[in-house]
């Protein structure tokens, strides 16, 4: 890649950054994708650590990367002690040489701020920057994420190193963006007294008076009433539900401001063409990702399987969750090159499985996939993690599979320019609701993420594209919106959902909906709370199930497990979709699912956790009622199809996750861009991939 071409890419990134910022402010539902139109619309790369190796080795590393068609390196996110070997003394010369050498091999760099790994001089000289565990023990130096994200002194050091990096590299044409820290939230918050005082100040700002807080938390219960802000603890273990939820919200505030501290330092000195992102961890629930993503150019995540093999439904759900944080395309900043080293059983993915994973990411809206890591380190906690190049500097067998996928990306990238997924169906995910359920599960078997996946698997099999978005996201573009576990449902949110239904949408609610307000207190009305008038039905009682309960109705016959709610209709136009069979006496022949037309739309409540077969029947009914159609057409079992669109163009990614060869009929003749031929059918071996372009020509 020539310097002129890199600068051209940089200019486009500048325009994209400006567009993304403007669209965020306007809350546009489907902003432009974050890819680089006109060049490298989809990218592949690796995490590279030149500070760990002699400089004489760099050329060979980059030669091997270029030969594999890798276009991106993420660099420096663990290199603080090399960049600032002593306080206030910076050495960026080596990093500049590495970045510019990568550029000469047509590889652009993403700079990671190194704040997940503070140097020993910092933590030893300023021990108050180290995190305190819930048991009061201050952690020691030598791992990562051992600093306190709430420490003002530590934040000052973070600001300084980020600013110095931006001064040096903010205008470097080979640097396209910044990753803030690394997997933040990976460790707990610090449980020290200064953090507690910050929490108390944050509560005071929110509630204004201690009486207001006591009222919302119902602290008369168990004599929890507070007389002043200084009495409020950091919750450890079980505690008042209001206090526990606010600690999570405070944690979100801390990590958001921690991130913003570094973004502000970078933005003062860096080209606006350079993006900012953060590598999240799928369904990690340490903070509200919708909130923390707002100030980023786009979201990224680290896609790992660990033990076993890829579950395409769960992996696809995590991709779509990440895409939903900002409702735009995203990056996979890390993914496993065959195996990891931190799981219970670090088996290797089957041959072709990682390639299929990379293509699945692209189909779901990723514009970049990066392997972690490039080469085995000679020491450290991750010595035997999967890599592309072994400790001897020569490629391991997986290098060829990564090369194949990267060559394919480069060959067909023009088909993906300006494209993004487009869905008729949305699943709503709420961190407040997730936390509230986790605090009071009522049965250890209740798993709201598993329930989300159950709906996702069945709905995506039919619609072949699903968005996962915040409950507060704009919903008008969707024919069907499903909220499997909207436990926390304040009136503002209920009004937002009712507006969607009144305007013609179909809203489906799952169990435990509308039990709590925004303070994690029970609503005075029964479930579904503020949505009762629209549904004209309520939950009479909920039951944690000891054993499965039979269900029957228009959706078919099956069983409810884990959780069941006894529904009662109050309107003649309610339609019962499922009833319980004989069980505990209370549930016998009582409604389990009810639907009702409301305004121009429809609202449906499903009060039980359904088995897979019943969920398929429910999904078929939901999509039929809502007018949802598949984006591609029928495909054999085990084949996943994804679609990315732009005006006048549709591109489909088909992946066979089955163990047998599958024959797929295309809706009509399309160009199979990996093969370079026009066809109306395609044969896919196990882990086989096809990319079909429909550009109307």
Cis status, amide bond into 392, omega within 30 of 0: no
CA distance 364 to 267: 30
pLDDT higher than 60, residue 530: yes
pLDDT tens track for 310-347: 999 999 999 999 999 999 999 999 999 999 999 999 99
Per CATH, 3-192+245-413 and 639-694 having the same topology is answered no
Contact at 8 Å (CB) between 514 and 531? yes
CA distance 536 to 555: 21
Rounded to the nearest angstrom, the gap between the alpha carbon of residue 263 and the centroid of all alpha carbons in its chain is 20
pLDDT at 340 (0 to 100) = 94
pLDDT higher than 80, residue 123: yes
pLDDT tens track for 196-223: 999 999 999 999 999 999 999 999 999 9
Contact at 8 Å (CB) between 320 and 299? no
pLDDT tens track for 461-479: 999 999 999 999 999 999 9
pLDDT at 695 (0 to 100) = 84
Task: Using alpha carbons, list the distances in angstroms from residue 340 to 187, 322, 384, 687.
Answer: 19, 22, 8, 20
Domain extents in the chain: 3-192+245-413, 425-626, 639-694
pLDDT at 40 (0 to 100) = 58
Is 518 annotated in the active site?
no
**What percent of the chain shows pLDDT beyond 90?**
91
pLDDT at 26 (0 to 100) = 31
pLDDT higher than 80, residue 187: no
CA distance 294 to 328: 12
What backbone phi and psi angles, to 5 degrees, belong to 206? -80, -45
Instruction: Walk across the sheet containing 689-694 and list its strands.
Output: 639-646, 649-656, 689-694, 662-672, 677-684
What backbone phi and psi angles, to 5 degrees, belong to 242? -65, -45
3-state secondary structure 425-474: EEEEECHHHHHHHHHCCCCCCCCHHHHHHHHHHHHHHHHCCEEEEECCCC
**What would the CATH number be for the domain defined by 639-694?**
2.60.40.1180
Average pLDDT score over the chain: 93
pLDDT higher than 80, residue 501: yes
pLDDT higher than 60, residue 24: no
Contact at 8 Å (CB) between 179 and 76? no
Candidates 334, 413, 559, 616; catalytic one: 334
CA distance 226 to 386: 52
Q: Mean pLDDT throughout 296-319?
A: 97
Instruction: Report the helix count and the strand count for the chain, using DSSP H and E.
Output: 18, 25
pLDDT at 697 (0 to 100) = 60
pLDDT at 33 (0 to 100) = 35
Q: Mean pLDDT throughout 108-115?
A: 97
pLDDT higher than 50, residue 13: no
Q: Which fold has domain 425-626?
A: Rossmann fold (3.40.50)
Domain 3-192+245-413 has CATH 3.40.47.10: no
pLDDT at 58 (0 to 100) = 98
pLDDT at 16 (0 to 100) = 34
Helix (H) or strand (E) holding 334: strand 330-335
Specify the DSSP class assigned to residue 132. Answer: B
pLDDT at 10 (0 to 100) = 37
pLDDT higher than 80, residue 67: yes
Q: Mean pLDDT throughout 298-312?
A: 96
Q: Where are the beta strands (DSSP E) in 226-325?
A: 275-277, 279-280, 300-303
Specify the DSSP class assigned to residue 190. Answer: P
Candidates 77, 183, 353, 640; catalytic one: 183
pLDDT at 15 (0 to 100) = 33
**Range in 27-31, 66-70, 75-79, 614-618 the model is least confident about:** 27-31
CA distance 443 to 372: 37
Question: Taking Cα atoms as reference points, which of 652, 313, 291, 243 lies closest to residue 454?
Answer: 313
CA distance 432 to 241: 11
Question: Taking Cα atoms as reference points, which of 186, 204, 93, 94 lies closest to residue 147?
Answer: 186
Contact at 8 Å (CB) between 502 and 462? no
**What percent of the chain shows pLDDT beyond 70?**
94
Contact at 8 Å (CB) between 386 and 440? no
Alpha-carbon dihedral angle through residues 243, 246, 248, 249, given to the nearest 10 degrees = 180
**Range in 144-153, 183-192, 256-265, 657-666 the model is least confident about:** 183-192
pLDDT band with cut points at 50, 70 and 90 for residue 382: confident
Residues listed for the chain: 697
Q: Half-sphere exposure of residue 549, counting CA atoms within 13 Å on the CB side?
A: 31
pLDDT band with cut points at 50, 70 and 90 for residue 408: very high
CA distance 123 to 140: 9
pLDDT higher than 90, residue 34: no
CA distance 229 to 201: 8
What backbone phi and psi angles, to 5 degrees, belong to 413? -60, -30
pLDDT at 174 (0 to 100) = 94
pLDDT band with cut points at 50, 70 and 90 for residue 41: confident
pLDDT band with cut points at 50, 70 and 90 for residue 540: very high
pLDDT at 3 (0 to 100) = 37
Is 156 annotated in the active site?
no
**Range in 176-190, 192-206, 529-543, 594-608 the model is least confident about:** 176-190
Strands 366-371, 43-47: parallel, antiparallel or unpaired by DSSP? Answer: parallel
CA distance 560 to 684: 36
Q: Half-sphere exposure of residue 142, counting CA atoms within 13 Å on the CB side?
A: 6
């Amino acid at each position: 890649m020539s310097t002129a071409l890199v600068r051209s890419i940089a200019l486009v990134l500048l325009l994209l950054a400006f567009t993304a910022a403007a669209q965020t402010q306007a809350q546009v539902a489907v902003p432009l994708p974050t890819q680089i139109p006109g060049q490298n619309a989809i990218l592949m790369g690796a995490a590279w650590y030149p500070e760990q190796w002699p400089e004489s080795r760099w050329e060979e590393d980059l030669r091997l990367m270029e030969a594999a068609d890798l276009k991106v390196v993420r660099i420096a996110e663990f290199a603080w002690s090399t960049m600032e070997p002593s306080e206030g003394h910076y050495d960026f010369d080596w990093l500049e040489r590495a970045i510019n050498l990568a550029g000469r091999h047509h590889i652009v760099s993403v700079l990671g701020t190194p704040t997940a790994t503070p140097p020993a001089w910092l933590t030893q000289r300023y021990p108050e920057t180290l995190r305190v565990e819930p048991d009061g023990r201050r952690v020691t130096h030598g791992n990562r994420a051992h600093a306190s994200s709430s420490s003002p002194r530590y934040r000052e050091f973070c600001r300084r190193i980020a600013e110095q990096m931006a001064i040096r590299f903010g205008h470097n044409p080979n640097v396209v963006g910044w990753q803030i820290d690394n997997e933040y939230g990976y460790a707990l918050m610090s449980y020290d007294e200064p953090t507690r005082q910050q929490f108390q100040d944050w509560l005071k700002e929110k509630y204004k008076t201690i009486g207001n807080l006591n009222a919302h938390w119902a602290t008369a219960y168990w004599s929890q009433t507070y007389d002043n802000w200084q009495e409020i603890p950091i919750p450890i273990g079980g505690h008042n539900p209001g206090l526990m939820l606010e600690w999570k919200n405070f944690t979100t505030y801390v990590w958001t401001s921690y991130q913003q501290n570094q973004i502000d330092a970078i933005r003062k000195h860096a080209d606006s063409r350079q993006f900012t992102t953060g590598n999240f961890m799928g369904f990690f629930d340490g903070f509200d990702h919708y909130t923390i993503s707002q100030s980023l150019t786009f979201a990224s995540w680290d896609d790992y399987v660990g033990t076993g093999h890829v579950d395409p439904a769960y992996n696809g759900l995590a991709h779509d969750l990440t895409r939903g944080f900002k409702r735009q395309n995203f990056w996979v900043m890390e993914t496993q090159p065959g195996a990891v080293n931190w799981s219970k059983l670090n088996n290797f993915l089957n041959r072709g499985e990682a390639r299929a994973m990379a293509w699945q990411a692209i189909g779901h809206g990723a514009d970049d996939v990066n392997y972690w890591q490039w080469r085995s380190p000679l020491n450290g906690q991750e010595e035997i993690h999967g890599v592309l190049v072994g400790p001897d500097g020569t490629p391991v067998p997986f290098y060829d599979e990564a090369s194949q996928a990267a060559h394919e990306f480069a060959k067909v990238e023009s088909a993906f320019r300006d494209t993004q997924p487009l869905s008729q169906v949305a699943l709503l995910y709420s961190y407040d609701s997730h936390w509230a359920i986790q605090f009071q599960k009522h049965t250890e078997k209740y798993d709201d993420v598993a329930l989300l996946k159950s709906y996702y698997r069945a709905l995506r099999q039919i619609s072949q594209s699903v968005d996962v978005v915040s409950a507060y996201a704009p919903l008008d573009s969707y024919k069907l919106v499903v909220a499997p576990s909207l436990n926390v449902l304040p009136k503002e949110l209920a009004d937002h959902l009712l507006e969607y239904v009144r305007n013609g949408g179909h809203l489906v609610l799952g169990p435990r909906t509308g039990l709590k307000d925004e303070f994690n207190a029970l609503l005075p009305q029964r479930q579904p709370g503020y949505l009762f008038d629209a549904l004209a039905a309520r939950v009479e009682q909920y039951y944690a199930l000891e054993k499965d309960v039979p269900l029957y109705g228009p959706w078919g016959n099956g069983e409810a497990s884990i959780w069941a709610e006894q529904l009662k209709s109050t309107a003649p136009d309610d339609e019962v979709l499922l009833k319980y069979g004989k069980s505990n006496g209370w549930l016998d022949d009582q409604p389990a699912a009810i639907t009702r037309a409301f305004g121009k739309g429809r609202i449906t409540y499903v009060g039980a956790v359904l088995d897979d077969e019943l969920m398929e029947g429910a999904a078929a009914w939901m999509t039929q009622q809502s007018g949802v159609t598949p984006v591609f057409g029928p495909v054999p079992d085990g084949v996943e199809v994804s679609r990315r669109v732009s005006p006048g163009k549709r591109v489909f990614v088909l992946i066979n996750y089955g163990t047998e060869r599958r024959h797929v009929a295309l809706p009509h003749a399309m160009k199979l861009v990996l093969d370079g031929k026009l066809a109306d059918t395609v044969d896919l071996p196990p882990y086989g991939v096809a990319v079909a372009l429909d550009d109307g020509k």
